[in-house]
Each structure stands twice: as C-alpha cells, then as structure tokens.
Amino acid sequence: MQIATRLKARLDFVRSTMEQLHGTLEDEASESFLSLREKVDLWAAKVAVIGQVKAGKSTFLNALLEQHDFLPSDINPWTSVVTNLRINLPKDPDTGVSFEFFSDDDWNGMVEGKSAIGDMSEELLPGFDADLLREQSKELREQAKARLGDHYHTMLGTSHDFNFSSPDLLKRYVCAATDAGKELNQEALGRYAALTREANVYMRDAAYQVPTILTDTPGVNDPFLVRDEVTCRALDRSDMFIMVLSAHQALTDIDLSLIRLLTQQSDRDVLIFINRLDELDQYDTRYEALLEDVTERLEEAVPDTDFTVIAGSGFMADATQTEGYEGQSIRDELDTPTLAAYLKAAYGHCPNDQNERLLLGSGIVKMKEALSEMIDNGVAYRQIEQFMDDIHAHIEAIKFSMLNAVNSVSENIALLRKSTNESLTLTIGDELVALKKAVEEIDDLTQTSEDQLVSKLQKLRANLEAVLMNRIDGFLEDQEAMIESSLLLEENQEFPNESITIYLGVLHGEIEKAVSEHFEIARADVDRELRSISELVCENVSLAFKEKFQDVSLDNLPFDKFSTTLTMAKQSIEANLVGKRSVAFWKKKSIDLSRTVKVVKTLAIAELIPAMNTILDAYCDAHRSRFSAGIERVSLARNVAEQAFRDRGALMKKHYELVKEHGADQVGQSHAADQLESKVDELNRMYGELTKIEESLMEVPKHKAA
C-alpha cells in the first residue's frame, strides 16, 4: 500500500513550481528564495512512535516497514536510544546510519550538575540517597567507560557514520542490555548504547510517497530517567504520533496524561494502536469492549479531539516476514480458531491463506491507511500549504521589484534619448544610494531587535522561573504534613519507612498551566515587536522604491501556543531514607523533625530544578523560533531592496560600458538606449512568466478535500 499519495501530489506541485521559478529567475534567484527551496528539500512528515516500555513499538515499526528484525525488538535488550528512520529524504544518502554520541556538555548537565546535592545530603542526612538520576547518569557513564576504554573520551560529542545498516549494527548502538543480557552477550550487545544519544537511519522505501521520518523511542516509563529527557526532546521535534498501547493494560494514567499533553499543543495529530491483541484470551469476543473502553476514556479525557483507535498485533504482521522453520511455527501458533472468529467478527471474513489471515488480524493494513490519512490531512498537509503561501509571497515580492526596475530602466531610456548622460547616472546613482541606505537601516533595525529579544528573553525566563519556583514551593509546603508523618516512627516501629515518595501529578498540572499562560502573554509581546519591525521595514522599502510595498504577513508563525511535554519526565520523587549506615541515626529519637523536613524539601527542590531548567530552555527556544520565523518573513522585503540595489548597480555598470563603447554623444546614447530596451523586454517577459506561475498557484484549491 502507498502512503500519503494525496500529499505527494501537493508536494510535487510545490517542487515543480520551485523548479519553474528557479528556471525563470536564473541568476536573479535571491538568497531567501534559495533558502525556501532548501526548506522544501529538507521537509519530511515527522511521526514518532511512543508508548510504555515493551508495548511493542519497535515490533510495530518493523511490521510497518515489512522488515523482520530491522529494529531490535526483544524482551532483552530494550530500546534505549531515539532512532529516526529517515525514509526518502531527497538529500540523504540512499542507505546508511549515523549514530550521535552524548557530548561533554550533555554529560556534565546530567552528572556534575547534581553532585553538589549529593554532598549536601550526605552531610545533612546520613545515608540519604535520593538522587536516582545522578546515580544512573554516573552508572551510564561508567558503563561507557568500562566498555570503551580509551576510546570513550575521543567519542564524546562525535558520531559514527556507516554507509550500510544491519540489525547487528543497530543492536550495538541502540539497545541497552539488562544485567542478564550483559552476561549473555557482553561484546555485541549495546556496546555503544550508553554513549549514544540518537540514531539516524537512512533508507528508501517506495511505499512512502512523501519524505517521512518515523521515530522509534524508548518507553516513556523507562526505569532509566536519563532517557526520558532524550525522549521528551524527540517528542518535541515530531508533529504526528502513533501511540502503541498494550491490550493487557490499555490506557494507563501515564498514557492518558501523555496524550493530553500531546494534543494540547496546537498542530499535532495522534493515532492509537492497541497492540498485543493476540495475547488477550478470547480476543474475538473481547476486542469490541476494549476498543469501546479506550475510545470512551479518550473522549472523556480529551473531549474536543477525534481519535482513530485501531486494535491488532504487530507480532502477527512481523511473523509473516519471519523465515524458515521458526517463522512457520510462530505463524501456526498464532493462527488459532480465535483468530478466525476474530476476523469474521471484526472484518466480516476470514481469508483462506494463512499469511493473509495474520496480516488482516495484525491491524497493520488499517494502521497504514490511518497513517496515510493522517499525513495527507493533518499537520503535514498544513506545512505544505504554508510552503505554497511562502512561494506566493516570494513571487509577489519579486514582481514588485521587477515592475519597479522596468519603470526605472524605462525612465533612464527616456533620459538617454533626449538628454545628457550625467542626468542618467544621477538618477541611477540616487536610486542606488536610497536602496543601499534602506538595506543598511533594515539590517540595523533587525540587529537591534534581535539584541532586544535576547535581553527580553532573559527577563521572561527569570520571570517564569520565579513563577515556577513559587509553584514548587507552594506544592512542597502542601506536602509537608505528609513528609513529616513519613519521618516519624510509629509506636512499635523499629526502622523508619524506607523512603518517602512525593507524587508530582498536581505539580505537573500547575506548571503546565503556568507555562502556557505565561507563554501566551509573552508571545503577544514578541508579536507586537515583530509587527513593529515589519512595519518599519516595509516603510523603509517603500521609501527607497518610492512606491508602497505591501505589508508582510505575519500569520501562521510557529508556536502560537506552547505547552511542554518535558514536565512528563518524572512522575514522582523517591527519597530513600534508609542507607546502610543510617539505621543508627534513625534510631536516635532526638531527630530534629522540622530541620529534617526542611532538608527533604531542599533535596526535592534540587531534584526538580534540572527539569525546570529544561522547561525554561524549551520555552525560550519556542519564543526564539517564532521570532526568527517572523524575521525571515520580514527579510523578504529587505532582500527585494538588496536585489534591486544589485540590479541597479549592474545597470549603471552596463551604462558606462555602453557609453565607452558607443561614445557619449547623441548617437552613442541612443544606441545605448536601444540596448537597454532589450533589458526592459527581458524584465517584462520574466514578469509575465511569474504571473503565470502565480496564477497556477492560485488555482490549486486551498482547502483540503475531506
């Protein structure tokens, strides 16, 4: 089955329009046109597959690609690295993999950044071992050191690139082995996994009609907290999501809050796959209730969104690709009377061929249709539409500039025909000065406002940080009674509770709300700034051209809203109170309760700070990318002026050459005028071609066919 054929038609149209434009403009193609072209070349539909550990994400992706054992999928090892399957991206190599490693900065952020807290807890509360993340980061680093020896240091921050890919190669980089796994196959498994941050796999697949990036992620409840952060960043980069649930425990609270967060962000689509149906007893009779239950709870949790929910089994589809005796026995095992009954109930028929039965039951075909539909109509569609708007704006700008050039050259021809050449150089000279001045002023203007944005962002960040700290303080104050009671020994209790767990659900909600509200207000402020630059720039350009330049549209900039998925990183903070050395400490009845509560709170805050900083970073990034997208639009106007400056310069040069060639007398000048006429013809011809391209762009229906 072919995926996203409708969007392909649109993308092809965009590409061929770009091609045509480039052909028409030739050397006149401006920087901003070339950068738009590059953006189109780099575009891909970005789909991330998410879900809890062992839901079957990697298996599902293998089934989708119809490649058994492509991504490592097994009970042990597990996926520990975000893997981007880059399918049919025009600028990518046809095949190969690139593995990116953590850099020193990544590590320091995760390890050293927290060690001060470790010392403090040792000092204040013997045996206190709250800092799970720090421990795990360290462990990861040690693992990498032990496995890689001297290589370790030279690899940080670099990448390993291969011009082929194979399951074994991937295993070495993207799978973490459990302890049991280590013993089994120490060398081959996960040799570099501890050090790998992200993998990019390049591939071609004719089924995917538009460039597509399918991202495999580690489970969201991965016990290794370090990975959560990496996963969350990957989620922020994707536009569409396939959430894989396990039929045994479809839609847990974690799943629901993740879906809620994802759909909260504007422009994101979510598709739900209930996997592992084959493992459910009597799924032929139970699947319907399961689907209903999941759909109902989704509707309840996220009222205004329609979800496509499909049930099946990635394993069944994968089994049809498994070769040899092993494959046959797996297929026979899955091919039960329950499957036959299920197919009749769910699909109305049961194919005669075993492979067809398994494929139908797997739900993969339905998922492909839904994926195709999602890419054809959702965010990806709107992104392509945006390209068409951009192209249109470019054509308008170029036409404006050309018309102006035609007028200018015609004026000069008239001058040449009747007066002296001094007045000619004078008019072109004046134009040159005016254009140059406009470009310089615009550059100053954008530079100043970019500088202002930097300091504005600092303030916004500090401001939001204060708000968040305040929320955290308030939240922990509410937890005080709970912490206190967990610290007290009961009457007959010899040892204290092993740990205090602080659940962060309420805090997540508050932070989420505070961040998106704060963003909305700040965004309005940044938008005002953008509008005022845009007005000033257009004013400058209009002044230079002595003609009104139409306003630059600032509609549809990215990040209308911002809500961060990063708060998901932790569900709770676990404070381990009993270390080996601390039992004696706890036996002292003279424990200073209020001081200890304070220490627990301090530690909790310290634990929350890195997550908060990540949120603040992402918050600033969002503002920055909105602002620079706006500036990019505005610079369209600037580039028109710059282009005109270059054109007029060339014209002046040509004029001098002509005068040199034909003499400065009346005859020579009229000859020069004739030659300039041909320039006008040329410009008029290009103008006509541009108008045609513009018309064909306008003819494409704007709104999607349902």
Ligand X SMILES: Nc1nc2c(ncn2[C@@H]2O[C@H](COP(=O)(O)OP(=O)(O)OP(=O)(O)O)[C@@H](O)[C@H]2O)c(=O)[nH]1
**Residue 214: which residues within 8 A CB-CB, separation 6 or more?**
47, 48, 49, 61, 64, 65, 84, 85, 87
* Contact flags string 59-98 toward Mg ion, x per CB under 5 A: --------------------x-------------------
Using CB under 5 A as the binding criterion, the count of chain residues that bind Mg ion stands at: 3
Token pair 């400056």 in the structure block, residue: 645
584 is a site residue for ligand X (CB under 6 A): no
Q: In the complex, what is the shortest distance from the CB of residue 57 to Mg ion, in angstroms, rounded to a whole number?
A: 5
Q: In the complex, what is the shortest distance from the CB of residue 3 to Mg ion, in angstroms, rounded to a whole number?
A: 22
245 and 271 Cβ atoms separated by less than 8 Å? no
- Binds 181, which of ligand X, Mg ion, none (CB < 5 to 8 A, cut-off by type)? none
276 is a site residue for ligand X (CB under 6 A): yes
* Contact flags string 198-237 toward ligand X, x per CB under 6 A: --------------------xx------------------
25 is a site residue for ligand X (CB under 6 A): no
58 is a site residue for ligand X (CB under 6 A): yes
Hey, how many other C-beta atoms are within 10 angstroms of the C-beta on 15?
16
Cα first-last separation, the chain: 20
Stretch that binds ligand X, among 270-278, 448-456, 474-482, 539-547 (CB under 6 A): 270-278
53 is a site residue for ligand X (CB under 6 A): yes
Shortest CA distance to 53 belongs to which of 280, 222, 195?
222
Beta-sheet pairing, 96-101 with 196-203: antiparallel
79 is a site residue for ligand X (CB under 6 A): yes
196 is a site residue for ligand X (CB under 6 A): no
254 is a site residue for ligand X (CB under 6 A): no
- Looking at the Cβ atoms of 25 and 53, the one nearer to ligand X is 53
Q: In the complex, what is the shortest distance from the CB of residue 59 to ligand X, in angstroms, rounded to a whole number?
A: 3
Shortest CA distance to 84 belongs to which of 202, 164, 193?
202
- Looking at the Cβ atoms of 73 and 486, the one nearer to ligand X is 73
Residues 305-324 that bind Mg ion (CB under 5 A): none
- Looking at the Cβ atoms of 58 and 238, the one nearer to ligand X is 58
Shortest CA distance to 82 belongs to which of 247, 179, 166, 193?
193
190 is a site residue for ligand X (CB under 6 A): no
Q: In the complex, what is the shortest distance from the CB of residue 49 to Mg ion, in angstroms, rounded to a whole number?
A: 9
List the one residue from 74, 293, 480, 632 that touches ligand X (CB under 6 A).
Answer: 74
Long-range contacts of 540-545 (CB under 8 A, 24+ apart): 540/438, 540/441, 540/442, 540/445, 540/641, 541/438, 541/442, 541/637, 541/638, 541/640, 541/641, 543/434, 543/438, 544/434, 544/435, 544/437, 544/438, 544/641, 544/644, 545/400, 545/401, 545/404, 545/641, 545/644
Q: In the complex, what is the shortest distance from the CB of residue 62 to Mg ion, in angstroms, rounded to a whole number?
A: 10
- Looking at the Cβ atoms of 223 and 429, the one nearer to ligand X is 223
356 is a site residue for ligand X (CB under 6 A): no
DSSP strand E in 387-430: where?
none
- Binds 363, which of Mg ion, ligand X, none (CB < 5 to 8 A, cut-off by type)? none
**Residue 618: which residues within 8 A CB-CB, separation 6 or more?**
236, 562, 564, 566
Hey, how many other C-beta atoms are within 10 angstroms of the C-beta on 657?
12
Instruction: Report residue 97 CA to chain centroid gap.
Output: 20
- Looking at the Cβ atoms of 71 and 89, the one nearer to Mg ion is 71
Q: In the complex, what is the shortest distance from the CB of residue 320 to ligand X, in angstroms, rounded to a whole number?
A: 13
59 is a site residue for ligand X (CB under 6 A): yes
- Looking at the Cβ atoms of 79 and 137, the one nearer to ligand X is 79
219 and 51 Cβ atoms separated by less than 8 Å? yes
56 is a site residue for ligand X (CB under 6 A): yes
Q: In the complex, what is the shortest distance from the CB of residue 51 to Mg ion, in angstroms, rounded to a whole number?
A: 9
205 and 62 Cβ atoms separated by less than 8 Å? no
DSSP strand E in 338-491: where?
none
* In the complex, residue closest to Mg ion by CB: 79
275 is a site residue for Mg ion (CB under 5 A): no
484 is a site residue for ligand X (CB under 6 A): no
Is the torsion defined by CA of 203, 207, 212, 214 positive or negative? negative
365 is a site residue for ligand X (CB under 6 A): no
The 3-state DSSP class for residue 271 equals strand
CA dist 635 and 538 (Å) reads: 10
- Looking at the Cβ atoms of 57 and 227, the one nearer to Mg ion is 57
Stretch that binds ligand X, among 313-321, 424-432, 441-449, 627-635 (CB under 6 A): 313-321
Contacting residues toward ligand X, per CB under 6 A: 53-59, 73-75, 78-79, 218-219, 275-276, 278-279, 313-315
Contacting residues toward Mg ion, per CB under 5 A: 57-58, 79
